Amino acid sequence: KEKTGEEKRISPTSMSQPPEIATVVRHFNKIKQKCLHLEEHSSSIQSQLESSQRRVAALENQMATQRKELDLWQSEKKEMEHRVTASDTELGKIRAQEKIWQREADSLRSLLSTYENVHESSSGGSEKKKRRVAPAESSTASRNEKEGDEDGPTSQGLRLSLDSARERVDILTQQNNTATEELESSRSEIEKLKAEHERVLEKFSKLRDALYKEREKAAEAEDRACQAETLAGKGSFNSETTRVLHLQENPMMAAVREKYETEIRALKEAIEEMKAESSAKGSTSTKTPPSGKKDTISSLDAQKLHQRLKQSFKEQIAMFREGVYLLTGYKVDMFVDSDRPRYKVRSMFSEQEDDHLMFVWPKTKPGEDEGVTSLDMLDTELAQQLSKTSSSIQYITKFKSLPAFMSSVTLELFEKQTFMG
């Protein structure tokens, strides 16, 4: 339907125009519609790029929040570990104090048993003496009473001190049990914090992977948008549904023809001037050469002309190479010792005189020289150094762009020389 409407719109004008112009107009309208379609596609890709960038920003914010939580968990973990260490130290002190009190209690028990044994032995001896010696009964009894009075308070004090020591041991045991329970609870909290830490790390890694994927998608969308804009600017079209009509006479062919004609006229003028100079030099001679030597003189003039042309071309080539060296910063030498020319490239910012890159013309089939888009780089010391320490090699391995690689190498060498200076 659109095609019929288009033909209806064009048909009134095509009645008064030649068929070639009508075809051009129709082709122009198709290209215009294609450009509009590409612009719409570019705008949709741009909107997708913006949404991807927003998602990337959201993921970055979420990642920052997760990092803060991770730092908080790590600080809490360190604090709990410090508390556990302090609890272990305090528990060790309590256990050491408990052992001391137990030793003191054991010593008090042994002392008390000693006093009891002494008291029993003293009481048994007094009864035997009463039986054997009647007169000394009163003195022994009084002495035993005195000893009993002296031993009674001592044993009671020892028992009291033993009871207090036992109470203190019980208190220390309770404190030990409490510290042990706190240690176990701290360890359980540490295990929980470790599990939470692992969970946060896993979530952080997932968010990082998602962020990288979104960035790759955004880069791909940006590349597609740039490609769509480039195609729209170049007037791209679908070759399956559209045919291009090439006019026999077009501005491009006229410009090329005019350029070649101008160059031909300039060369003819140069040849005429050289012929005039050679004839003028021949006419200023004192004697007219014999007719037999005319061929020899003309051959000499031709050799001189050829020599002057060679010298002129040599000077122009040298000037061209110097201009290329000053403009690009690279001195290029070509070697044609085989069917594949080699190019030795040296930068004006090289650290050493021998630093250079070597390129070779790629292998092509006969008749395919026009399809060559880049050169092959050979292995040199500078190439090995750049492949190990520089990121410029990505322009060849990833983007397949030799000019970008050479520009990046120039910038790196210039920065090194500037900072060293």
Report the alpha-carbon distance of residue 297 to residue 294 in Å, rounded. Answer: 5
Strands 342-347 and 376-377: unpaired
- Secondary structure class of 37 (helix, strand, coil): helix
Q: Which of these, 95, 40, 35, lies nearest to 242 by C-alpha position?
A: 35
Count CA atoms closer than 13 A to 48's CA, side-chain side.
18
Q: What are the residue boundaries of the structural domains of the chain, listed by start?
A: 160-231, 329-365+372-420
Cβ-Cβ contacts under 8 Å for 363 (sequence gap 6 or more): 340
Class of 329-365+372-420 in CATH: alpha beta
Is 213:100 a contact under the CB 8 Å cutoff?
A: no
CA dihedral sign, ordered 393, 398, 399, 402: positive
Count CA atoms closer than 13 A to 4's CA, side-chain side.
1
pLDDT values of the chain reduced to their tens digit, one per residue, 421 residues? 344 444 444 444 444 555 667 777 787 888 888 888 888 888 888 888 888 888 888 888 888 888 888 888 888 888 888 888 887 888 888 888 878 888 887 887 787 778 777 767 766 555 554 455 444 445 545 554 544 444 455 666 666 777 777 777 778 788 778 888 888 888 888 888 888 888 888 888 888 888 888 888 888 888 887 777 776 666 665 666 766 665 666 676 778 788 888 888 888 888 888 888 877 776 655 444 444 455 566 667 778 888 888 888 888 888 998 998 999 999 999 898 888 899 999 999 888 888 999 999 888 766 555 567 889 999 999 999 888 888 888 898 888 899 999 999 999 988 887 765 4
